[in-house]
A and B are shown apart, each in its own frame.
Chain A
Amino acid sequence: MTTATQAPATAAEMTGAEVILKALADQGVEVVFGYPGGAVLPIYDAMFKSNYVRHILVRHEQAAVHAAEGYARSTGKVGVVLVTSGPGATNAVTGLTDALMDSVPIVCLTGQVPTHLIGNDAFQEADTTGITRPCTKHNYLVKDADTLARTIHEAFHVAKAGRPGPVVVDLPKDIQLAKAPYVGPEAIEHRTYRPKRTPDAAAIEKAVELISKAKRPLFYCGGGVVNSGPRASELLTEFVRMTGYPVTLTLMGLGTVPASEPLFLGMVGMHGTYESNMAMHDCDLMINVGARFDDRVTGKLAAFAPNSKKIHVDIDPSSINKNVRVDLPIVGDAGEVLAALIAQWKKKKAKVDGAALAKWWDQIEKWQARDCLRYKASKTIIKPQYALQRLHALTKNLDPYITTEVGQHQMWAAQFLKFERPMHWMTSGGLGTMGYGLPAAIGAQIAHPDRLCIDVAGEASILMNIQEMSTAVQYRLPVKVFILNNQWMGMVRQWQELIHGGRYSESYTEALPDFVKLADAFGGVGFRAAKPSEVDDVIKEMIKVKRPVIVDCCVDQKENCFPMIPSGAAHNEMLLGPEDQAQKPTSEEGMVLV
């Protein structure tokens, strides 16, 4: 791949633009998501003359980053983005922030005005490194062609090492045109940035002791296990089964333990299951692997798991003791820590407290018996939960890659689609970016061309990046957009109903496009389901068509997403359904929380 026919004969003759492409190729990059513009024309010209990487032309730079995220999260590789200066870079900011919050490895190359014009308010100039400093893991401005190759390689190292994240490399146009020396990635060792991956042996010993003595234990695991690679998920499942302890997962961690695993209690947090949240509240030992005590998970901090000891495994030391004080921090890679825990457990021939565990499971089964995800079925109107149950039933054998937008549909998808494997579920967890799902599905589809990739969407979110239908059509990507259309910004409406006295301020969309015709206009295929009896047929048709599809699934407009921990409440104060919500007004403290 690195010896493309049109490549320059010797390294000495290379331009900056050629160095950039060769560096990408040597990093194993196969795909770049991007959008051309004045300040990156030399790179696009070099791309035209070589075949180092495949370029996917998106329709908006924000979507380029989300597509790279979908690619990265479904493959474990670094996602690569190429955009121009000024508006190209500022449009990418939402995607970069999203990748930072969800720890997705991204290298984003941005064009910049030539070095002598920097700071002169030149055409399409923006202070890209200044703007992206708080929304990247690290960023670079290359002002010297001699450092160009090294900087690109370093960017890849920083993006994927430790807790992954987005890295921006800002590339002035004159640097792209200058003669630049090439060095390969093997020559690069970073001076300072070498995150710790291997845990302390003493901490592992102590952890095994705590784990074996626990009476009401709970594993609470998240995206860190996904980021560690598929092996970490296998190890987690193995360790959970060795102990027989219950396990709950965060939104980001779904799939790390198979949903069909009997020890799995479902998702935790604001819209997690009753049994997960009650177990979280009542446990005496919490074993957190790769989750960060996010506010969506902890609810009211003062009442969070009040009687528990906490073990926290995280590769990022700054995640430890940030929101919740823990008793035993273990800094390291989730996979390495789990392997060490299993080895130590076997070495010590550790045993669990069987009697206490049986009692704990008795309690958990009582919580499970509440059947917290139940909803009122209807023969006349499509319940969103029903649509997703059917989607799951009809696609599970195809092991689909699922992305979502943000809102009620996202939470229902997390509740009703069951994930057996990691890296098949991509959702904007930290930033909550409406418009994430379609480009992310495109990225996943590029990585897995023969697999089913579905964006579970809402009719409001999808309009934020609907233009990417055009990208899907151009590259013949058979992505499926499954819209749960209730004509409302559903989660906004739900909060207005619960917290703001039912004053539905600006959350109803008076004018919506005809999504079936819209699909057609883009060159895709549209289907509509308006009655429960039509749902199965539409899903089957959607799977059958090997082109981009939009399904307009017209669902109950007033359905709310339950169970729910109202903001400012504790885990044992969940609302299980509409009958609960009337009785429990939200506290003033809760009102100010998002």
Chain B
Amino acid sequence: MADKIETHTLSVLVDNEPGVLARVIGLFSGRGYNIESLVVAEVDASRHLSRITLVTSGTPMVIEQIKAQLDRLVPVHTVRDLTTEGAHVAREMALIKVVGTGDKRVESLRIADIFRARAVDSTIESFVFEMTGSPEKIDAFVNLMRPLGLVDVSRTGVVAISRGAKGI
């Protein structure tokens, strides 16, 4: 049971200073942990705080280690495990380029409509769709586009936040 691999989404509040991302990434590579996705941006300019959203996987013991190791980095303020601390919202954005003509082109537009993806660029033979949703939803959309002329995907990785009134 202890060896079951789990996927967790972590929110980490850090000082926005040079090298902080390298510290986090170095921790993961140096200790052999997995990073499935990592998103970082400043969220509070006046206090120079950045928020890192990390999706990682490992046994419960490894996940616990990851949190403890992150928490002991000097520029880290807070580490929250959204997966264990109640419900949360997780979203990812993707830009998806599909090339094709005729029926395939029409079909891609029809499916995009179902998935509420927006065409943000269009030529006679191509579309770039923008969509936001859970990673699973984006996976599903990308898979449907594959036979319809998928040429390029760019994804942001997951950003997440807890549900309810409480902040990080």
Contact = CB atoms under 8 A, between A and B. Distances in A.
Contacts of B69: 318
Interface stretch (A134-142, A410-418, A470-478): A134-142
Nearest to B70: A318
A318 B26 contact: no
A223 to B, nearest CB: 17
Interface in A165-196: 191-193
Nearest to B64: A321
B153 interface: no
Interface string B59-82: 001001100110111111100000
A141 B18 contact: yes
A137 B74 contact: yes
A316 interface: yes
Nearest to B69: A318
B19 A317 contact: no
Interface string A540-553: 00000000000000
A129 B71 contact: no
B92 interface: no
Contact of A191 (B15, B61, B65, B71): B15
Contact of B68 (A137, A138, A320, A325): A320
B164 interface: no
B22 A133 contact: yes
A141 B22 CA distance: 14
Contacts of B26: 133-134
A130 B30 CA distance: 13
A503 interface: no
B137 interface: no
Interface in A110-158: 129-130, 133-134, 137-139, 141, 158
Contacts of A192: 15, 74-77
A317 B73 CA distance: 12
B15 A321 contact: no
B116 interface: no
A317 B71 contact: yes
B146 interface: no
A548 to B, nearest CB: 39
A359 interface: no
Contact of B30 (A134, A193, A317): A134
A316 B73 CA distance: 11
A321 B2 CA distance: 12
A133 B76 CA distance: 15
A138 B71 contact: no
Contacts of B64: 321
A325 B73 CA distance: 23
Interface in A306-345: 316-318, 320-322, 325
Contacts of B74: 137-138, 158, 192-193
A299 B102 CA distance: 67
Nearest to B73: A138
Interface string B85-101: 00000000000000000
B23 interface: yes
Contacts of B71: 317-318
| Residue of B15, B61, B72, B74 with highest tally of chain A CB at under 10 A | B74
Nearest to B47: A191
B15 A318 contact: no
Nearest to B66: A318
A322 B62 CA distance: 8
Nearest to A190: B74
B23 to A, nearest CB: 6
A321 B77 contact: no
B61 A325 contact: yes
Interface in B14-35: 15, 18-19, 22-23, 26, 30
A317 B65 CA distance: 9
Contacts of A318: 65, 68-69, 71-72
Contacts of A134: 26, 30
Contacts of B2: 325
A322 B22 CA distance: 23
Nearest to A320: B68
Identify which of B15, B19, B22, B71 gathers the most chain A CB atoms within 10 Å of its CB.
B19
Interface in B36-72: 61, 64-65, 68-69, 71-72
Contacts of B19: 129-130, 133, 139, 141
A316 B61 CA distance: 16
A292 to B, nearest CB: 13
B65 A322 contact: yes
A316 B72 contact: yes
Nearest to A195: B72
B139 to A, nearest CB: 33
B31 to A, nearest CB: 10
Interface in A48-63: none
Contact of A317 (B15, B23, B72, B75): B72
Q: Point out which of A129, A138, A141 has the most chain B C-beta atoms below 10 A from its C-beta.
A: A138
Interface of B: 2, 15, 18-19, 22-23, 26, 30, 61, 64-65, 68-69, 71-77
Interface of A: 129-130, 133-134, 137-139, 141, 158, 162, 191-193, 316-318, 320-322, 325
Given A138-B73, A141-B19, 6 more contacts: A130-B22, A141-B18, A191-B15, A192-B76, A318-B71, A318-B72
6 contacts: A133-B23, A134-B30, A137-B74, A192-B76, A317-B71, A318-B71
